[in-house]
Chain A
Amino acid sequence: MTAISRDEVAHLAHLARLDVTETELDRFAQQLDVILQSVQRIGEVAADDIPPTSHAVPLTNVYREDVPVPSLAREDALAGAPDVAEERFRVPRILGEEE
């Protein structure tokens, strides 16, 4: 399943919150298509009975104890922020609702 359309690219850009231009849409559609064609090959060899690997060295049960450690000083936490108000991160008006 390749041949990625311009509309699909536009949808992906929206999912990824990327404001791509019209020119970029065309260019990306073409480039993504080439890449997708070449990666499609893995379907040749990835049979059903093969388990996936998500981690190189298998570890399980990696935890930490429920003991507090010092947090960042507030000025450090806010230092990199583009906009701060009332000790909080200020953002422009939000359109969508919370999940």
Chain B
Amino acid sequence: MTIIHSTAAELAAGIAEGRFSAEEVTKAFLDRIAAVDGLVHAFLHVDAEGALATARAVDADRAAGKPLGPLAGVPIAVKDIVVTKGLPTTAASKMLENWIPPYDATIVTRIKAARMPILGKTNLDEFAMGSSTEYSAFGATRNPWDLKRIPGGSGGGSAAAVAAGMAPLAIGTDTGGSIRQPGAVTGTVGGKPTYGANSRYGLIAFSSSLDTPGPVARTMLDAALLHEVIAGHDPLDSTSIPQEPAPVVAAAREGLTGDLSGVKLGVVTQFAAGEGAEPGVIAAYQTGVEALAKLGAEIVEVSCPHFEYALPAYYLIAPSECSSNLARFDSVRYGLRVGDDGVRSLEEVMAATREAGFGPEVKRRIMLGTYALSSGYVDEFYGQAQKVRTLITRDFEAAFNEVDALISPTTPFTAFEFGARTADPYQMYLADLYTIPSNLSGGPAVSVPVGLSDGLPAGLQVMAPTLRDDVAYRVGAALESTQEPRLSDQIPDVADKEL
């Protein structure tokens, strides 16, 4: 088993036991990046020097007999929406093309404290708005399974990096499905924790009440290990929950034993019907459901009648918050400045800068959000959407009175071709159909690779009660344990694919 085929857990053990050095491990991934990222374009910035320095420091500690943390020396890629001190952070936008932050996000501080070499920053849809990474201002990322197709979004870079073996772990952020949907279409694991479980300090804000940083990995255990490194209360984030992180590592290990007797799973009626979903996706999902049943889980149907309003509510709440969050990009303190010719006023420079700095999807959402918040409309749009959130939360609560977790396909379609959904924005928004409800309720959800449809990966989503991330990890790991080999073990040989 080569290094790039190893899981994060295996790498950590290997480093700790001295079977290979942290430097070797980091080098292996840097070499892989050099070999294939020219085609995949998952990375916007690679920090070989920084990553190797951290790796060498871990090796020095090991040589000195110092104890190593659970993921010490295991390399990681970070979605370029997360602020990293001294490393470019662009949010995949021309607005921040040359910005180097003077501070670290809290989750980066924790990654550094865990001594994980940061390989670099990964590509995304600009400001995390999109489902295909096509809206990156610096070029799209290609799905390693088929280079003519999208890797999902907004976190397509992190998912592609892990899927192509360029990083064993990555950080993503999930606002409407941006970790889970790329996970599903690239055959990797994507986890969205309970909102507030992971600090948002240092996450360039898109939708404040929905943004959640989370793990991207090849296995459930790997994702759980990363979750426990970054999760936990942060006094710098007022929305950070005080509870201890859910015991997801223990839960993943338990799930891997493949015993789900006594566990009751709910299939969401409204999603099971599969309207608008590709038949292949539904078929793959069904095999997953059967596999879970074989492990002893009781599968029942649960109706969540308000889930169909989740997408419209999301497309009012998220743009509203983002229209306000993105107002700070005004050419004054950082970022792009355009048109400052000594004649134009600040107001003109501001407008010219924002016009030039933001891409079309970002502008669309800013205007939609401005509309939804404007006086005369705010109650009808933003206000009503917040009520739908209450209804969806109640649907979840009612469901979890009957079942331990809910399951659904992660996303209605497999990786589509570039340009297939950019003409009509609403067609793109449909990719988030199944993932959005748990963003609105704040509950945890993970996407587990479940099979192939016409040769392209599909995922099964497990949704658990708020604060019970461990339940999602147990069920996801149990599903994973039925796959031999795991779908994510099939690292595509990118170089032989057509563009």
Contacts and interface: CB of A to CB of B under 8 A. Distances in A.
Interface of A: 1, 4, 8-9, 12-13, 15-21, 24, 28, 31-32, 34-36, 38-47, 50-57, 59, 62, 64, 72, 76-77, 79-83, 89, 91-96
A21 B360 CA distance: 12
Contacts of A57: 194-196, 239, 241, 442, 466-467
A68 to B, nearest CB: 15
Contacts of B484: none
A80 B367 contact: no
Contacts of A54: 209, 386
Nearest to B98: A80
A32 B377 CA distance: 14
Contact of B340 (A64, A80, A92): A92
A34 B345 contact: no
A94 B351 CA distance: 13
Contacts, number: 187
A95 B347 contact: yes
B386 A80 contact: no
Given A56-B441, A79-B102, A28 B390 contact: no
Interface in B294-353: 306, 309, 311-313, 315-316, 323, 327, 330-337, 340, 342, 344-352
A50 B391 contact: yes
A32 B333 CA distance: 31
B385 interface: yes
Q: Is the interface of B mostly helix, strand, loop or mixed?
A: helix
Ordered nearest first, which 7 A-B pairs have the shortest CB separation?
A56-B442, A52-B386, A80-B334, A82-B337, A19-B355, A76-B102, A46-B384
Interface of B: 99-103, 194-196, 209, 235, 238-239, 241-242, 306, 309, 311-313, 315-316, 323, 327, 330-337, 340, 342, 344-352, 354-355, 358, 360, 363-364, 366-368, 370-371, 374, 377, 380-381, 383-391, 393, 424-426, 429, 440-443, 466-467
Nearest to B466: A57
B344 A92 contact: yes
A17 B103 CA distance: 28
Contacts of A39: 312-313, 315-316, 381, 385
B352 A19 contact: yes
A16 B368 CA distance: 10
